[in-house]
Chains A and B, each alone.
Chain A
């Protein structure tokens, strides 16, 4: 995986964002809570900016319904086709 690869995990509610935050914190993943990038969603809330590999994270959070999972390679945003889980 490239160093500057980042995932934006967008959920329906702040409740779900915080559920994910709690889990990622417990598991020691590298992430940040950031405002949802305007080009990804018109939502006015927060999302998870993940600096770890999505495949490592997935097993811990796949029972939480996700809205969008977007890969940012430093230049372009690429949305995972379909819903990555649930």
Chain B
């Protein structure tokens, strides 16, 4: 079996991830912060430690501003729906995932917000001057992905921050966090949204976000927090304001394992290995006559997400053939119809190859061998 779908979720997970979950569900297992007994407190300590470590990891200042969610999508929904109001204007790009576009379109339809979409080139390049030109008096936020889930391009957050003054910068870092350095302060990020099951190596069902001091969002969920239980009003202090109900504590424990793995391995080494794999795949596929590669893979800034098509074959056919040989990739639109329109592959989509840290060179050789057979037929 060869797994090349790490942009959807990383697999396999490091041993540390499995060990932390195992320990949590075998020996801790209480409902955090609710009951006051030892297991409840231990569960709360697991969350506390993960919150502190993750905050440090992104150079956040205050761990109570790090909010756990169900996934990257929920983080982006809270950022977008919680921030934007009637008559607000928002800027975004043509490479965004539906987890950005759908909440924005909901607000456009419901509240009449105004959306400006900056068109990227087919290579995924963004004209930063155009962002500056799109800023209006009522521009509240810029929502942008850090790394594209379709063509792997990364965006220069620091440069973008420079041109938008005090507009709120919301960053979707699902494809980059863990493997690529992200610094809330240096990159000038106001709200950072991400999932924890990709390059942070946690389990599925966990996302997080960091909300810079001074930004208030309208919560999306209300309920039990274990705090202020005498009141039927939802608390307005952090992190409870945005978190309620029993959290995914096993998932949060798995994140601690993922972070321990990253620390042990070194983020630079993970990034370097991913770059090696990306370069190898792109180099070899470029030699195929009938393979079309999308995006621009020169340089070292892209995430290892490679979109391709074989001439005269549907992506679904290629995916089917690969799957028969136990090679797992993702085909279609990758929940990003606008990105596919940008690169000219809408509505069929592409075949997306995304190796991970644990992908071996021999896996790539086997993948290329099978691709050669498919491309011939």
Query: Interface of A with B (CB < 8 Å)?
Result: 12-19, 22, 33-36, 41-46, 65
Contact = CB atoms under 8 A, between A and B. Distances in A.
B181 to A, nearest CB: 26
B156 interface: no
A12 B227 contact: yes
Majority secondary structure, A binding face: mixed
A42 B231 CA distance: 9
Given A34-B36, A35-B36, A43 B237 contact: no
A45 B34 contact: yes
B55 to A, nearest CB: 11
Given A13-B237, A15-B238, 13 more contacts: A12-B237, A13-B239, A14-B33, A15-B63, A15-B64, A17-B44, A18-B48, A41-B230, A43-B227, A43-B229, A44-B36, A46-B40, A46-B41
B215 to A, nearest CB: 18
A44 B48 contact: no
Nearest to A44: B229
Contacts of A45: 33-34, 36, 226-227
B199 to A, nearest CB: 26
A65 B228 CA distance: 14
Interface in B159-186: none
B88 interface: no
A35 B63 CA distance: 24
A34 B44 CA distance: 14
Nearest to B40: A46
Contacts of B36: 34-36, 44-46
Majority secondary structure of chain B interface residues (helix, strand, loop or mixed): loop
Interface string B215-231: 00000000001111110
Nearest to A42: B230
A12 B44 contact: no
Nearest to B37: A35
B51 interface: yes
Contacts of A14: 32-33, 44, 48, 226-227
B237 A65 contact: yes
B240 A12 contact: yes
B211 to A, nearest CB: 14
Interface in B55-84: 63-64
A15 B239 contact: yes
B35 interface: yes
Contact of A18 (B44, B227, B240): B44
A45 B230 CA distance: 12
B44 A43 contact: no
Interface string B26-59: 0000001111110011001101100100000000
Interface in B231-259: 235, 237-240
B240 A44 contact: no
B122 to A, nearest CB: 46
B42 to A, nearest CB: 10
7 contacts: A12-B240, A13-B33, A14-B48, A14-B227, A18-B45, A45-B33, A45-B34
Nearest to A11: B227
- Which of A14, A45, A65: most chain B Cβ within 10 A? A14
Contacts of B235: 12-13
Interface in B187-231: 225-230
A36 B37 CA distance: 11
